[in-house]
Amino acid sequence: MWTTKVFILLGMAFFALSACATGNKSAGLPQSIDEYTRITETVPETASAYNKRGIYYMDIRYYQKAVENFTEAIRIDQRFADARYNRGLAYLKLNYAHMAYQDLLDASDLERDSRDRRTQYSGSTFFETP
């Protein structure tokens, strides 16, 4: 499952973002991309790492690389609404309006389904006491 190495790599990636939070947005991005690349090499089926790396590529305007990462995240987890939404935004930046529309619509549907399931389970009797 999750190894210590993966947690260390995730921590290093988040630490690299501190440069972004201090106002120098692009300073930590290449290092963050490198950290998420290490995570995807260590645990290749980690959809969230591909999604995060795609977001960093969006920040530096590498929209095609962002699309590739979001697509990989979706391949790993077809119900990953955030990755579909982010890929839709990247497609908009690349002027692929039809593809952007489809991804944004799919993301909305997935999020609605997820919200409906949460509502359904929150009203269940699993936690009722006699």
Spell out the domain ranges in the chain: 4-115
Q: Taking a C-beta distance cutoff of 8 angstroms, is the pair 52, 13 a contact? A: yes
Averaged pLDDT for residues 61-70: 97
What digits encode the pLDDT tens for the residues 6-60?
444 444 444 444 444 444 444 455 577 778 777 777 777 889 999 999 999 999 9
The tokens describing 21, both together, are 């939070």
Tell me the CATH architecture of domain 4-115. Alpha Horseshoe (1.25)
pTM of the model: 0.66
Averaged pLDDT for residues 74-84: 96
pLDDT at 117 over 60: yes
DSSP state of 23: T
The tokens describing 119, both together, are 């509502």
Given this model, what pLDDT does residue 125 score? Answer: 45
pLDDT at 84 over 80: yes
Q: Please report, rounded to a whole number, the percentage of residues in the chain having pLDDT higher than 90.
A: 48
